Amino acid sequence: MACQGLAKGETIHTLKVESESLKAKLEEERGKLHDVELHQVAEKIEALGQFVMKTRRTLKGHGNKVLCMDWCRDKRRIVSSSQDGKVIVWDAYTTNKEHAVTMPCTWVMACAYAPSGCAVACGGLDNKCSVYPLSLDKNENLAAKKKSVAMHTNYLSSCSFTNSDMQILTSSGDGTCALWDVESGQLLQSFHGHSADVLSLDLAPSETGNTFVSGVRSSKLHLYYPCGDAFATGSDDATCRLYDLRADREVAIYSKDSIIFGASSVDFSLSGRLLFAGHNDYTINVWDVLKGTRVAILFGHENRVSTVRVSPDGTAFCSGSWDNTLRIWA
pTM: 0.89
Q: Is 248 left (phi over 0), alpha (psi -120 to 50) or beta?
A: left
Per-residue pLDDT at 4: 56
Alpha carbon 150 to chain centroid, angstroms: 19
Rounded mean pLDDT for each run of 10 residues along the chain, 330 residues in total:
61 89 85 75 87 95 98 98 98 96 94 97 97 81 86 97 95 97 97 92 80 78 81 94 88 96 95 96 97 96 98 97 98
Per-residue pLDDT at 27: 81
Which residue from 117, 73, 123, 115 is spatially nearest to 98, judged by alpha carbons?
Answer: 117
The burial of 25, by beta-carbon neighbours within 10 Å (0-12 exposed, 13-18 middle, 19 or more buried), is given as exposed
Domains and CATH numbers, the chain: 53-329 (2.130.10.10)
Per-residue pLDDT at 1: 40
Q: Residue type for 9, please?
A: G
Per-residue pLDDT at 2: 46
